[in-house]
C-alpha cells in the first residue's frame, strides 16, 4: 500500500514537472515573440504595434514592416525551428544516438545542394521558382543524403564513424554548392549566397502558409508515432517483439525527418545544431525521454530557440545581420560538446 502511494506521488511529481516545463516554454515563446516584433531597424512603439496587429490600422510604413517583414519572419522562424528540432529528434531515435541530427549527418547540406542546382538550372527557363518546387528539391536532396548515410551505416557500425561519414557528405555537398555558386550567373549569386548561409529573412505569407502546412502535418504525424518511438528506444529487436512493424516504421522515420530537414533547408538554408541541442535540453528539463511529452516540447523548444537566435542575429550587430547558423552554433555547439564530454565519462 505504501508503495502504491509512493507510486502516486511520484507520478504527480512527474506531471508537475511536465506542466512546469510546458508553461515555461509558452512563457518564453510569448516573451520572445513580443521581443522580436518590437525590435528592428525602424523603431515602432509598443502601442503602435498593438494597434497594427489587433486593429489592423496605423501608419502605412509601420503597418507593412510589421505585417510584411516582422510577422512572417517570426512565424517562419518558430515553425522551422520546431521542424528542425523535431527532425533531429527523429534522427536520434532512428540511429539510437543523441548526437545525430540533420546538419551533422549531411542531410541539410544534401538538401542545400539539390536546391542550388534546381535554382541555377530552373532560373534559366522561368523567372522565379515557386516555394513548392524548392521544398520538393530540398526533400529530394535530403533523401539522397540520407540514402548515403544509410548505405554507410550498413558498413560502419560505430556511431562516431557514421557521424564522420555524415560530416564528409556535408563537406562534399557544400563544396559542390560553392562551386556552382562561383560559376552561376551574377543575378543568382546574391540570392543563393544569402540563402546558403541560412536566414529567416525574405519570407512572404505564401511561404509561411506552406511552411505551416508541411511542418504541422509532419508534427502531427510524428506525434502519432510517439508510441512506436517509445518502443524503439529499447532497440529494434525489442520494438519488434512488442508488435512494431520495424521496416515500415523505419521508412516513415526517414521520410518524416527528411521532409522536415528538407523543408527547413528550402526556406531558410542549412541551420546547424538546433536538431541536437534542443531535444537534449528538453529531455533534461523534462527528466524523461518519453516521446509523448518530448515531441511537443521539442517542437515548441525548437521554435523558441530559433526565434531567440534570430533575434540575436538581427539585433546584435544591427543594422548588419548575422547568418542564423552563426548564432545557433554559438549557443548550440557548447551544449553538444558538453554532451560528448558527459558521454565520455559514462562509458
b/e burial code for range 243-281 (CB count within 10 A of at least 16 → b): ebeeeebeebbbbbbbbbbbbbbbbbbbbbbbbbbbbbb
Residue 220 CB, shortest distance to other proteins, in Å, is 12
Q: Binding residues for other proteins, per CB under 8 A?
A: 3-4, 6-7, 10, 98, 224, 226-227, 230-231, 233-235, 237-238, 240-246, 283, 287-290, 292
Residue 100 CB, shortest distance to other proteins, in Å, is 13
CB closer to other proteins, 249 vs 305: 249
Q: Report d(CA 57, CA 176) in Å as an integer.
A: 48
Query: Which H/E stretch holds residue 9?
Result: helix 2-37
CB closer to other proteins, 49 vs 253: 253
b/e burial code for range 15-29 (CB count within 10 A of at least 16 → b): eeebeebbeebeebb
Residue 327 burial by Cβ neighbours in a 10 Å radius (0-12, 13-18, 19+): buried
Residue 6 CB, shortest distance to other proteins, in Å, is 8
Residue 238 CB, shortest distance to other proteins, in Å, is 7
Closest to 87 (Cα-Cα) out of 322, 325, 271, 289: 271
Query: Which grid coordinates are listed for 282?
Result: 528538453
Residue 173 CB, shortest distance to other proteins, in Å, is 30
Length reported for the chain: 347
CB closer to other proteins, 238 vs 317: 238
CB closer to other proteins, 230 vs 302: 230
CB closer to other proteins, 141 vs 296: 296
Q: Report d(CA 86, CA 99) in Å as an integer.
A: 14
- Hey, is 200 helix, strand or coil? coil
Q: Are 324 and 306 in contact (CB under 8 A)?
A: yes
- For residue 273, report the phi and psi dihedrals to the nearest 5 degrees: 70, -20
Q: Report d(CA 27, CA 186) in Å as an integer.
A: 45
CB closer to other proteins, 11 vs 68: 11
Query: Which residue intervals of 41-158 are DSSP H helices?
Result: 46-50, 60-64, 71-95, 107-122, 131-155
Residue 275 CB, shortest distance to other proteins, in Å, is 16
Residue 3 CB, shortest distance to other proteins, in Å, is 6
In angstroms and rounded to an integer, the radius of gyration of the C-alpha atoms of the chain is: 21
Residue 251 CB, shortest distance to other proteins, in Å, is 15
CB closer to other proteins, 47 vs 157: 157
Q: Are 325 and 198 in contact (CB under 8 A)?
A: yes
CB closer to other proteins, 110 vs 279: 279
Amino acid at each position: 500500500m505504501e508503495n502504491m502511494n509512493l507510486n502516486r506521488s511520484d507520478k504527480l511529481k512527474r506531471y508537475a514537472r511536465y506542466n512546469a516545463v510546458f508553461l515555461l516554454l509558452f512563457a518564453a515563446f510569448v516573451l520572445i515573440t513580443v521581443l522580436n516584433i518590437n525590435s528592428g531597424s525602424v523603431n515602432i512603439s509598443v502601442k503602435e504595434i498593438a494597434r497594427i496587429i489587433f486593429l489592423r490600422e496605423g501608419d502605412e510604413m509601420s503597418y507593412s514592416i510589421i505585417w510584411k517583414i516582422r510577422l512572417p519572419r517570426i512565424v517562419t522562424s518558430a515553425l522551422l525551428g520546431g521542424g528542425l528540432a523535431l527532425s533531429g529528434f527523429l534522427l536520434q531515435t532512428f540511429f539510437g544516438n543523441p548526437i545525430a541530427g540533420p546538419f551533422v549527418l549531411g542531410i541539410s547540406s544534401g538538401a542545400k545542394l539539390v536546391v542550388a542546382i534546381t535554382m541555377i538550372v530552373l532560373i534559366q527557363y522561368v523567372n522565379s521558382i515557386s516555394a513548392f518546387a524548392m521544398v520538393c528539391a530540398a526533400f529530394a536532396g535530403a533523401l539522397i543524403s540520407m540514402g548515403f548515410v544509410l548505405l554507410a551505416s550498413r558498413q560502419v557500425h560505430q556511431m562516431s564513424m557514421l557521424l564522420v561519414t555524415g560530416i564528409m557528405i556535408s563537406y562534399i555537398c557544400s563544396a559542390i554548392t560553392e562551386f556552382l555558386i562561383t560559376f552561376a550567373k551574377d543575378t543568382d549569386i546574391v540570392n543563393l549566397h544569402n540563402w546558403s548561409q541560412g536566414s529567416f529573412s525574405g519570407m512572404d505569407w505564401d511561404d509561411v502558409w506552406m511552411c505551416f502546412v508541411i511542418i504541422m502535418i509532419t508534427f502531427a504525424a510524428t506525434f502519432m508515432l510517439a508510441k512506436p518511438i517509445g518502443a524503439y528506444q529499447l532497440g529494434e529487436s525489442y520494438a519488434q517483439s512488442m508488435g512494431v512493424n520495424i521496416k515500415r516504421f523505419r521508412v516513415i522515420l526517414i521520410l518524416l525527418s527528411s521532409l522536415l530537414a528538407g523543408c527547413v533547408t528550402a526556406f531558410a538554408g542549412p541551420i546547424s545544431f538546433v536538431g541536437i541541442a534542443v531535444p537534449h535540453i528538453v529531455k533534461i528539463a523534462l527528466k524523461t525521454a518519453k516521446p509523448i511529452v518530448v515531441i511537443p516540447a521539442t517542437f515548441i523548444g525548437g521554435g523558441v530557440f530559433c526565434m531567440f537566435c534570430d533575434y540575436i542575429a538581427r539585433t546584435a550587430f544591427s543594422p548588419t545581420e548575422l547568418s542564423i547558423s552563426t548564432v545557433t552554433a554559438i549557443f548550440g555547439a557548447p551544449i553538444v560538446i558538453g554532451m560528448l564530454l558527459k558521454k565520455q565519462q559514462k562509458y
